[in-house]
Amino acid sequence: MQASIIIADDHPLILKGLNDFLLEKKYDVMASATNGKDALQLIQEREPDIAILDIRMPFLTGLEIAKICNEQNLSTKIILITFEKEEAIYNQAKSLHIYGYVLKEFALVELENCIAAVLNGKRYFSPELIKYLEIEEAPEELELLTPAERRVLKLIAQNKTAKEIGQILFVSDRTIEKHKSHIIKKLDLESKGGSLALFAKENEDFLSKNT
């Protein structure tokens, strides 16, 4: 069974092109909207697997819709399609846990790969955007961790003990041990026979620059 999708864009030609492309690829396009208010209502009423939204729309932007979906714990995964290449918007999309970010000029090339990644629980940000912004993307496993867990991992990479990490972050040793346990579980290190300290060391460069 193909993914159920809602699409929204305030440009009729882009909306039609997107709709035709998705139908051709046998996706279940449940409905479409030409503004953010209608798009949000469709998501709330139908809870599709995926909503593909333009960022700039009347009434509500794609980012504003994503924020509301997060606040209402809606299960729909948001993919943004846009001409926007600003780093601030990219960072805002990341902070809202957007699942996909595709540049419109590459949409027909990238969208199918993006949808496939999202359906597998992975995030997809346009490689052309990453290249344009000269951003160093986090290793996929690190995307699973919260900012607090990344900070703990960074300090583990520096050979700090739980007590030392607790003192640096102003929390108890017990809280640090809980963080470590959560990290091991999220990364599935036990079944992989991996070591938390080794994983931290392998990703130390990225953690040092980005945490």
Here the CATH number for the domain that contains residue 27 is: 3.40.50.2300
**Same domain (yes/no): 124, 155:** no
Residue 211 has a pLDDT of 67
Lowest mean pLDDT among 37-41, 48-52, 92-96, 168-172: 92-96
Residues 36 and 115 in one domain: yes
The average pLDDT across 132-140 equals 60
pLDDT reading at 39 higher than 90 = yes
Domain end: 133, 153, 183, which one?
133
Residue carrying the six token digits 């035709």: 20
- What's the one-letter identity of residue 56? R
Distances (CA, A) of 54 to 104, 107, 113, 126: 9, 12, 18, 15
Instruction: Give the separation between CA 159 and CA 153, rounded to whole angstroms.
Output: 10
Residues 98 and 145 in one domain: no
Q: Flag the least confident range among 30-34, 67-71, 95-99, 172-176.
A: 95-99
Neighbouring CB atoms inside 10 A of 161's CB total: 12
Backbone angles phi, psi at 103, to 5 degrees: -75, 135
pLDDT score for 210: 65
Residue 35: which pLDDT band, with cuts at 50, 70 and 90? very high
> What letter represents residue 37's amino acid?
K
Q: How many CB atoms lie within 10 A of CB 117?
A: 17
Shared domain check, 182 and 88: no
For residue 47, pLDDT over 80 is answered with yes
Residue 77: beta bridge partners? 50
Q: Do 33 and 65 have their domain in common?
A: yes
Mean pLDDT confidence for 180-197:
83
For residue 132, which phi and psi values (nearest 5 degrees)?
-65, -45
User: Strand locations in 13-152, DSSP E?
Assistant: 28-33, 50-54, 77-82, 100-103, 124-125
Confidence of residue 161 (pLDDT cuts 50, 70, 90): very high
More confident residue, 204 or 9: 9
The per-residue pLDDT for 158 is 92
More confident site: 66 or 192: 66
Q: Do 129 and 52 share a structural domain?
A: yes
Q: What is the dihedral of CA 166, 167, 170, 174, to 10 degrees?
A: 30
Contacts of 130 (CB under 8 A, 6+ apart): 137
Residue 1: band (very low, low, confident or very high) from pLDDT cuts 50, 70, 90: low
Average pLDDT over residues 131-153: 74
pLDDT band at 174 (very low <50, low <70, confident <90, very high): very high
- Does residue 147 or residue 137 have the better pLDDT? 147
Residue-number span of the structural domain to which 123 is assigned = 4-133
Instruction: Count structural domains, the chain.
Output: 2
CB 190 within 8 A of CB 183: no
Residues 87 and 169 in one domain: no
**Mean pLDDT of all residues belonging to the chain:** 85
